[in-house]
Amino acid sequence: MSASAFDLFQLPEEYQDLRAAVRAVAENKIAPYAADVDERSRFPIEAYDALRAADFHAPHIAEEYGGAGADALATCIVIEEVARACASTSLIPAVNKLGTMPLMLAASDEVKRRYLPPVARGEAMFSYGLSEREAGSDTASMRTRAVADGDEWVLSGQKSWITNAGVSRYYTVLAVTDPDGGRGRNVTAFVVEDGDAGFSYGEPERKLGIKGSPTRELLFDNVRIGDDRRVGAVGDGLKIALRTLDHTRVTIGAQAIGIAQGALDHAAAYVKERRQFGKAIAEFQGIQFMLADMAMTLEAARLMVYAAAAKSERADADLSFFGAAAKCYASDAAMRITTDAVQLLGGYGYVKDFPLERMMRDAKITQIYEGTNQVQRIVMARQLLKG
């Protein structure tokens, strides 16, 4: 058998070097602030500055727009390593990709050249507005409207659960442009800018986890925007949105395995130091079995995420299945691993002196956003039944 076949299961050196570089930034300039960011529910400005200085804030943007030009796997490694230190901070590169992905998939070159370079330079962040109060999993039932008025559109309505709302400068927003059109074929995507007249934010949500990443509503009160801010063709918005999620669900899988790796690392270090009955608790078989199961599950999840990232880069026909599978499996794994990590620390796992309880709280959202894991299973089943 050719040796090259075995190379498929080892990351090339440039990815290993990238991991080491991101880990150094995360451990030295992100992790020291993670507990305070969570405790005070504040945006991690120190981490954002560190990511921008290292060009890790939006690594996916192509070089032609001033970006680092990282591929899908490299972007996942960045998100994974940042999440290992602070899940809230990992949403900076993750959501910059989520917000800009519709532009990369469908926008005109003019729109790309207007909005991608400021994000690449670290001058702006980009968020994504799809969900509404009554249109979460059922995105096609959205009520936000955009009414044509000459060469402009008038936007009215709201979007819910918007990550990094209020700190991002730009927002990809999906709105119904043809109320009488076919379901799923009557939605169009637009770019809304912070400061547009009539555009405002709801109060920050009080959340279980990822407290350093603000989550707010977007409110549109007759916001007037030019047609030159349209992303893709009129009526193609939902198709673009769903294609976007095929790619970006992979990044949520990366975030999940990063959180899980951080929890496993802390738990393994603790059980080697904690002594009971005259010896380190790591010597007890029950503890060893827990660690083995945690590590085995994590490595399976990592391989699935990396395989999905490769499919994202190639835009494979089966990306919808693998994107959903990677996100679903990795986030379920992260929830199990962080819960077991808390258990391994006992009472110490339940208090804020250690980061495990934060990681457990942060892991939960990975099972919910960018499509609940129940929805991921629907996506996978539909792909299977299509053959």
DSSP for 100-148, written as a single string: HHHHHHH--HHHHHHHHHHHHTTS--EEEE--BTTBSS-GGG---EEEE
Map residue 204 onto helix, strand or coil: coil
> What are the C-alpha distances in Å from 47 to residues 50, 171, 182, 282?
5, 22, 44, 34
Q: Give long-range contacts, CB 8 A cutoff, 24+ apart: 371-375.
A: 371/137, 371/245, 371/249, 371/324, 371/327, 372/137, 373/327, 373/328, 373/331, 373/332, 374/137, 375/137
- Say how far apart CA 156 and CA 148 lie, in whole Å: 12
Q: Indicate the residue type of 204.
A: P
- How far is it, in rounded angstroms, from Cα 225 to Cα 332? 40
Which residue do the tokens 């959205």 mark?
A: 142
Cβ atoms of 102 and 240 closer than 8 Å: yes
24 to 30, 31, 267: CA distances (angstroms): 9, 10, 20
Angle at which helix 356-365 crosses helix 87-106, to 10 degrees, equals 20
Q: Which residue do the tokens 């009520």 mark?
A: 143
Task: List Cα–Cα distances, 150 to 192, 227, 295, in angstroms.
Answer: 18, 9, 58
Q: What is the DSSP letter of 28?
A: I
Rounded CA-CA distance 16/38 in Å is 29
Asked if 129 and 173 touch (Cβ cutoff 8 Å), the reply is yes
Active-site residue, 370 included = yes
Contact 365, 336 (CB under 8 A): no
Catalytic residues: 370
